[in-house]
Amino acid sequence: MSWRNQPMLPEHVDLCQRVYDAARKKRKIAPDSDASNPVAALVLTLYRHGVLEEEELLRRVLKALDEKN
């Protein structure tokens, strides 16, 4: 079974939440904005594909957000 099919433990959720919050703050995206949904999707997608280190995950999320603009 691949990693992406495993359940997320509380510490995984906490890490993703920190990255999500940091990415939104750095790109000035309000939590209730429609633009916050793609941020959450990016965080979870990258995490589920093996980017498990917090700083690297944030770096890749920010890079992906910049490429969309």
Q: Which residues contact 66 (CB under 8 A, 6 or more apart)?
A: none
Alpha helices in the chain (DSSP H): 10-26, 36-48, 54-68
Q: Minimal CA–CA distance to 58: which of 30, 29, 22, 27?
A: 22
Considering only residues 69 and 8, tell me which one the structure prediction assigns the higher pLDDT.
8
What is the per-residue pLDDT across 18-51, written as a single tens digit (0 to 9) for each? 999 999 999 999 989 998 899 999 999 999 999 9
Phi, psi of 32 (to 5 degrees): -95, 5
